[in-house]
Amino acid sequence: MFFEYAHNFRPWVLCFTLLVCFFLNLFWMVPAEAGNWRVAPIRISFDATSRSEVVTINNDGDQPLNLEVSAVRWMQDASGQNIYQPATDLIYFPKQLVIEPQKERVIRTGVKVPAGNQEKTYRLFIKEVPDRSQGGPNTVALAIQFGVPVFVKPTNEEIAGAIVDPQVVDGVISARVENRGNSHFRVKNISIIGVSAAGEQQFSKELSGWYLLNNRSRTFEVALPEETCSQIKTLDIQIQSDKIELEERINVDPAMCTAP
């Protein structure tokens, strides 16, 4: 998601813009609609029997909508952070389009070759091009971009994962989520429950999830309140995804709660 600013803006405009950036980035993981236009579907999957798809864009506004379309190869580094590179084997058209008010248009997508033994992953970016002729010199132009995930499934899909090295060090819970399969899974949420020796719940935390691509891992951390950590005997970690569920338990010693 990106934002373009008009020149010579006033200080209050800058403050407003920063607030808008903050809140829009909070919700970037719900790319079904933004402003006056909608994209469907919000993710695409190809396999051996399906190698083409249509993405529909609806303009619900009262002004023409100008869009640019691009595709990138979607990968992740060793820490699970996204990396994008130019894609040459994903077909899509048109690359530019104008949608009149209350109308819809489609983007046709396809893949040149199947994935083979490992899933291939892409993102189809649909970017709004602001109309610079609208508004005055102090106008802030907001341009919204959707990144539609595109998955090309492997010949034989294998789903496997694990929670690795769960521990509490200096009052901080940490664990690494590993995708050991040949296809992605989408972590929906991470639940952490801390229970005392008497069986009473002392701590509860829910974390939002992320996409984890094949053969990649990502570490998460959660700080325990100092007054609570010493009361916890066990911590149960539960991860729910769209394809697999994972569980691990940490036995907590009071010495884990404070720095030496």
The pLDDT tens digits for 92-120 are 999 999 999 999 999 999 998 887 899 99
CA distance 28 to 24: 6
Could you count the other beta carbons within 10 Å of the beta carbon of residue 206?
9
- What are the tens digits of pLDDT across the range 243-254? 999 999 999 999
Give residue 138's pLDDT: 57
- What are the tens digits of pLDDT across the range 151-208? 999 999 999 999 999 999 999 999 999 999 999 999 999 999 999 999 999 999 999 9
Q: Is the pLDDT of residue 129 over 70?
A: yes
Domains of the chain: 32-152 (2.60.40.10), 161-253 (2.60.40.10)
The H or E element containing residue 227 is: helix 226-229
Q: Do residues 215 and 189 make contact, with C-beta atoms less than 8 angstroms apart?
A: no
Q: Which of 21-25, 50-54, 76-80, 191-195 is the least confident region?
A: 21-25
CA distance 51 to 23: 36
Burial of 51 (0-12, 13-18, 19+ CB in 10 A): middle
Give residue 174's pLDDT: 97
pLDDT confidence band for 132 (50 / 70 / 90): low
Question: Higher model confidence: residue 143 or residue 178?
Answer: 178
Give residue 259's pLDDT: 74
Q: What are phi and psi of 229, to 5 degrees?
A: -55, -45
Q: Do residues 214 and 179 make contact, with C-beta atoms less than 8 angstroms apart?
A: yes
Q: How far apart are the first and last CA of the chain?
A: 43
CA distance 28 to 97: 23
